[in-house]
Amino acid sequence: MRIKYRFWFETDRGYVLGPGTYTLLKEIEKTGSLRKAAERLNMSYRHAWGLIKEMEENLGKSVIVSERGGKGGGKSELTPEGKRILQEFENYKMLFDEIVMRPYRKPWIAVDAVLIHNDEILLIKRGKEPFKGKYALPGGFVDYGETTEHAVIREVKEETGLDVAIKDLVGVYSDPARDPRGHTISAAYLVEVKGGKLKSGDDAAEARWFPLNSLPPLAFDHDCIIKDALSLLR
């Protein structure tokens, strides 16, 4: 036998967000298009649009904003409320996994990016706990079905607006005490900029360059990761 569970968000008006609509929002976030998201989920555009409208009506707020036409077709992106409810769902999912699946606990998998240019390193100020307000390397959790290589490129884009390519693996960091939320294993990559424009996003309150000889106090074990990255570059 296997333990299974399911949870969802609802208001007095009705259903708002569950596993299916969560996946739809994540695909919109990744592809920048409701139509592409529906195609990747083998769902009709009409059905996908109906799910979004039902969600917005029951929530009383918009979760996506769409732009029609253009050379490449229409675009869609999550509103701040859409990003907030998506993050809240992920937080509860992590919590329920910890409670329900306790006898079968496994470490979470994360990624961190080390981006060094002209003796400066790119850091983000964390907008959420743990370590809210402290600086850290860009990074985050790996989505189910995603490689760590894809995850680190995605996370850098979401948090800093920059497009990057992987240069090398710095190391794998697995100390069970490195993250106060629980046992988290992180694959840290050395990356380089390929495009984009620097701007903070996702759960990053700020993204900025720091001189390597004048770093602020860092979250997690990121000082160790940076030290290892500098050794690799030498």
Give the tokens for residue 109.
């998998």
Same domain, 113 and 80: no
Which spans in the chain are helix H? 19-31, 34-40, 45-59, 80-100, 148-160, 222-233
Q: Is 67 part of the annotated catalytic residue set?
A: no
Instruction: Please give the DSSP secondary-structure letter assigned to residue 217.
Output: P
Residue 41, in any domain of the structure: yes
Residue with tokens 């850091």: 123
Mean pLDDT of the 74-96 span: 89
Q: What is the pLDDT of residue 79?
A: 94
Residue 2, in any domain of the structure: no
Same domain, 39 and 139: no
How many residues would you count in the chain? 234
DSSP symbols for 108-155: EEEEEEEEEETTEEEEEEE-SSSSTTSEE-SEEEPPTT--HHHHHHHH
Same domain, 121 and 187: yes
Same domain, 114 and 228: yes
Residue 1, in any domain of the structure: no
Structural domain ending residue among the three candidates 100, 115, 135 = 100
pLDDT band at 104 (very low <50, low <70, confident <90, very high): low
Same domain, 128 and 221: yes
Same domain, 223 and 127: yes
Structural domain ending residue among the three candidates 72, 100, 128 = 100
Domain that holds residue 75: 9-100
Residue 132, in any domain of the structure: yes
CATH number, residue 175 = 3.90.79.10
Same domain, 193 and 140: yes
Burial 150-175 (b: 16+ CB within 10 A, else e): ebbbbbbbbbbbbebeebeebbebee
Q: Is the pLDDT of residue 69 over 70?
A: no
pLDDT band at 3 (very low <50, low <70, confident <90, very high): confident
pTM tops 0.85: no
Structural domain ending residue among the three candidates 54, 83, 100 = 100
Name the domain count of the chain.
2
Q: Kindly report the CA angle at 156 between 109 and 188, in degrees rounded to 5? A: 45
Query: With pLDDT > 90 as the criterion, what percentage of the chain qualifies?
Result: 76
Q: Which of 56, 77, 146, 206 is catalytic?
A: 206
Residue-wise pLDDT for 169-221, tens only, equals 999 999 999 999 889 999 999 999 999 999 887 777 899 999 999 999 999 99
Same domain, 38 and 68: yes
121, β-bridge pairs: 116, 210
